[in-house]
Structure 1
């Protein structure tokens, strides 16, 4: 696994945000924020973060999206950032929990902004959660955008990264099971995470299939029935979600109306890009998303 992290959270001139409300599930409390447009019918994008990355890290990209006329909703995944409690021994949650949390966020957005069309933007793990949610709850959003988000299946990686991914994911899952949670803050990967989440992650890495703890949903079949617009963006220099990994995840939604893009240094204007650093250089990417949303229900959505 790559040791690149999201350290060094930038503090850009971000638009003002308001707290829309809280999503609660048992002891878990998730604060939902929005950088709103004046027009309540402006499209809403819900930004689903990567594993171990707090929502505040995305402030530069939120500002970029807001400048494109979009209302941007942000929140922290369970155990991350403002969400409480943190992962620890005895704090249990999994992929299915994150899918259910996202459904609660969309309930809140729908109650506050009922006129606005809704879209999901998922980064890394957040893209997997966005895809799985949309497969299970088809029609809740008008489209899904995946940024630097791919399958963790080890065979979807090139060269020696196949073996590296397989061994790394299984070691992390085994350690999580033994310790009762994953102390990623100590190992420089993934932040603190519940054992159940890391077990789901490692199972998909090993088998390629989404069979989730605590869920009876056939997610592979549900993904195969997705027909909504899907934007996939691979990023130059990204070793955690290379193009082959992005294609494997998107390929599960074989009937989706896919638009495929590759974000390069020349396009972004950045000297270097990677799995996390694109966030600080997302101006051109935010324009792609604006244009994709505008065309989301047009035949030209096909790539």
Structure 2
């Protein structure tokens, strides 16, 4: 499998690049199992403007999305960004002996954060914007109707089912994902910071990821919920944004993910280097050159979410 770190040395998740916006607010949210989150907020001028709640990729810190968040905010949206459990400012820190997987993030964390965001912006509809794994988690949580959000945007997000990557890359991904999960099981955690893929993760996250890569289905450890059936019933508007040169979420992987939500009204858009002022793009680099993407997503949100009185904007 291709290393996320190797692909994104100059633009990938980086603590050194984190900066606090002076206009930013924050709220603390507690979920299950002692998990706590710092949710960073940017308020739009209009109190009833929609809220874009950004959900990071595996191993990416919330602060990495600052350029994207600023673009959404400049377009007139409220914006909220937080880390996934065990990453960045959230707790418990992912390490050996810490046990949580997709289920905790889908059933407990995202609903708790979405409730806190709704409380901070009581007049505003909430839209989940999920990058990569964050997009998968956003869909799963929204499909179970736990978040109460009004729409979902997928950015560089797709199923990790190996057949979605073609007959050359797919088998390599299958073997690699199962080896990664096996190594995480042996070590008691996934040392992704050292190995260059996915950040430091608990074993269960890697096993959930590998299971979906192997079977194509979302069967989450510790849950008896039929997530595939829930996805099939999802009727929220969904925007799927593909990114040029994205080998980690190619069109085939996005196709497989979107096939799971046949009842949802789905729009698709491709973010090319031409639309990014000729900057080099890939699975992570788009965040640093996201003005064009944030503008398109903002327009889609305002155009999609309506009130009884008509358009929100």
Which TM-score bucket, shorter chain as reference?
Answer: over 0.9
Give the superposition deviation at 1:54.
0.4
- Pick the aligned partner of 1:201 from 201, 209, 217: 209
142-151 vs 156-165, greater mean Cα deviation = 156-165
2:194 is aligned to 186
Tell me which residue corresponds to 2:2: 2
Equivalent pair of 1:102/1:133 in contact (CA under 8 Å): yes
1:144-181: CA deviations, max 9, x gaps? 00000000000011231101110111011101111111
1:212 aligns with 2:220: yes
Please identify, of 139-148 and 227-236, the stretch whose mean Cα deviation from structure 2 is larger: 139-148
The reply on whether 1:91 has 2:98 as its aligned counterpart is: yes
Where structure 2 has 5 or more consecutive residues not aligned to the other structure, the ranges are 6-11, 307-313
Cα distance in 2 between the residues matched to 1:243 and 1:184: 25
Equivalent residue, structure 1, for 2:235 = 227
Identify the residue that residue 265 of structure 1 maps to in structure 2: 273
SS in 1 for 2:4: coil
Distance apart, 1:10 and its partner CA: 4.1
Give the SS at the match of 1:26: helix
Residue 172 of structure 2 corresponds to 164
Query: TM-score, structure 2 length as denominator?
Result: 0.91
Q: Structure 1 residues 297, 41: closer, same or farther in 2, change over 3 A?
A: closer
Q: 2:124, 2:22 → 1: CA distance?
A: 19
1: distance between equivalents of 2:28 and 2:76? 22
- The 3 A distance-change label for structure 1 pair 43 and 297 is closer
Match of 2:289 in 1: 281
Is the Cα–Cα contact under 8 Å of residues 11 and 60 in structure 1 kept in the other structure?
no
Residues 114, 147 of structure 2: 8 Å contact kept? no
Q: Whole-Å Cα distance in 2 between the matches of residues 237 and 200 of structure 1?
A: 26
Q: How many Å apart are 1:12 and its aligned residue?
A: 7.3
Give the aligned CA root-mean-square deviation in angstroms: 1.6
Offset, 1:32: 1.1
For residues 84 and 13 of structure 1, the distance between their equivalents in structure 2, rounded to whole angstroms, comes to 20
In structure 1, stretches of 5+ residues that fail to align are 299-303
Indicate conservation of the 8 Å contact 2:111/2:146, yes or no: no
When residues 231 and 37 of structure 1 are mapped into structure 2, their CA distance, relative to the original with a 3 A threshold, is same
Relative to structure 1, the CA distance from residue 272 to residue 265 in structure 2 (aligned partners, 3 Å threshold; closer, same or farther) is: same
The offset of 1:20, in angstroms, is 2.2
1:234 to partner: Cα distance: 0.7
Residue 8 of structure 2 aligns with which residue? none
Report deviation, 1:295. Answer: 2.1
Instruction: For residue 13 of structure 1, report the CA deviation from its aligned partner.
Output: 8.9
Tell me the secondary structure at the aligned position of residue 221 of structure 2. Answer: coil
**Superposition map of 1:57-96 within 5 A:** 57-96=64-103
Once the two structures are superposed, residues 24-65 of structure 1 have per-residue CA deviations (whole angstroms, 9 ceiling, x without a partner) of: 322221111111113221110100000000000001111111
